[in-house]
Amino acid sequence: MGLWESLDAMWQMPAEERIFGVVLLFSWTVYLWETFLAQRQRRIYKTTTHVPLELGQIMDSETFEKSRLYQLDKSTFSFWSGLYSEIEGTLILLFGGIPYLWRLSGRFCGYAGFGPEYEVLVTIYADYIAPLFDKFTPLPEGKLKQEIEVMAKSIDFPLTKVYVVEGSKRSSHSNAYFYGFFKNKRIVLFDTLLEEYSVLNKDIQEESGMEPHRDGEGDSEEIKAKVKNKKQGCKNEEVLAVLGHELGHWKLGHTVKNIIISQMNSFLCFFLFAVLIGRKELFAAFGFYESQPTLIGLLIIFQFVFSPYNEVLSFCLTVLSRRFEFQADAFAEKLGKAKDLYSALIKLNKDNLGFPVSDWLFSMWHYSHPPLLERLQALKNSKQD
């Protein structure tokens, strides 16, 4: 039977069987695609046995090898656990597991919806509530502040204040950000970004009674070693380069674009949900012939019907976000900060490198923020010009 005949046969089926078939087919397509990507990445773990040249100074071959073997183990495990859960999910669907579980758990089935809601709550907490309790201090007057003001002015960023926030305790994705509306914007720098500010570094300075200069003459070897081990953060030029990247996001309108996209997405989802929730064949496809419980409707629509849309959307957003990151790097580069951004990125990623090499297709599908190595390579190409 050719492809067209099978498609035709499918078209002749009742709507609920068609829906069911498409859901199952899509689930396996996504599964096979991701397995294919994981195998490509696995090949990278197998064949990349040396630290990439760019990272030579921050990663030794022993750490690299350890991380490589760990990732290999992990990929073996995820292969089997992925296969298991795909088969389990398929069997549940095929044998009418959802109505069965629904009857079994009665009203409490709704708890299945807890996962994502909980996640949203945690995100809201981490992004909006927790920062309220952080300690913000104005960046003291000085060279760094002046330079930040000059840079902000040069790109028409309406800067009103610069703060430093104690971020040492929390690990965070970003090192600097800005907030505020229209003509009233504030820049916030994490103290971990600043070499001359960090709490850790202050302790060293007090202990040794030395100036916050890195290469002060006449330090004993011991103190130098201590400073080398503990001192973190970036030099002023590097801080400016990182900030140049962040301000690039603003100047290029990335922030606004992201807000518009997520608003449009929520609107579309609610609209489609309202249209779909009344369709009985959707419920029938999953074994609910008599009743149409709303919670099951939520599950079916968000988990299964939206799943192709979500895959496509999340891929587009990943592509877009990567593009934004490279554009922001290029913006910093246009401000003449390529070299400083390069060294800042190396410093800032020193402690969370993991396994630094990735297959390009795997990376493109999974990483909304390009891995360090890809950013460094993009910057290096321009540094040589």
Based on the residue annotation, tell me whether 333 is a catalytic residue of this protein. Answer: no
16 annotated ligand binder:
no
List 329, 340, 359, 374, catalytic entry: 329
How many Cβ atoms from other residues are within 10 Å of residue 89's Cβ? 15
Q: Is 332 in the site for Zn ion (CB under 5 A)?
A: no
Least separation in angstroms between residue 254's CB and Zn ion is: 8
Q: What is the dihedral of CA 155, 159, 164, 165, to 10 degrees?
A: -100
Nearer residue to Zn ion within complex by CB, 196 or 329? 329
Q: Is 164 in the site for Zn ion (CB under 5 A)?
A: no
Task: Find the part of the chain contacting Zn ion (CB under 5 A) among 114-122, 156-164, 212-220, 319-327.
Answer: 319-327
Based on the residue annotation, tell me whether 246 is a catalytic residue of this protein. Answer: yes
Q: Are 280 and 17 in contact (CB under 8 A)?
A: no
List 16, 191, 246, 359, catalytic entry: 246
Q: How far apart are CA 139 and CA 77, in angstroms?
A: 47
Least separation in angstroms between residue 194's CB and Zn ion is: 18
Nearer residue to Zn ion within complex by CB, 68 or 322? 322
CA Rg, the chain, in Å? 26
DSSP string, 8-54: HHHHHS-HHHHHHHHHHHHHHHHHHHHHHHHHHHHHHHHH--S--GG
Least separation in angstroms between residue 171's CB and Zn ion is: 17
Tokens of 127: 């992004």
Q: How far apart are CA 65 and CA 48, in angstroms?
A: 9
Nearer residue to Zn ion within complex by CB, 98 or 243? 243
Nearer residue to Zn ion within complex by CB, 331 or 362? 331
Distance from chain centroid for Cα 129: 20
Q: Is 247 in the site for Zn ion (CB under 5 A)?
A: no
Task: Find the part of the chain contacting Zn ion (CB under 5 A) among 1-9, 250-258, 321-329, 357-365.
Answer: 321-329
Q: Is 328 in the site for Zn ion (CB under 5 A)?
A: yes
Q: How far apart are CA 351 and CA 318, in angstroms?
A: 24
The DSSP code for 306 is S
Q: Are 135 and 108 in contact (CB under 8 A)?
A: no
Q: Is 341 in the site for Zn ion (CB under 5 A)?
A: no
Q: How far apart are CA 328 and CA 345, in angstroms?
A: 13
Q: Is 144 in the site for Zn ion (CB under 5 A)?
A: no
Nearer residue to Zn ion within complex by CB, 328 or 338? 328
50 annotated ligand binder:
no
Residues contacting 153, CB < 8 A, separation 6+: 159
How many positions of this chain bind Zn ion (CB under 5 A)? 2
Which residues carry out catalysis?
246, 329
Residues interacting with Zn ion, by CB under 5 A?
325, 328
Binding-site positions for Zn(2+) read 245, 249, 325
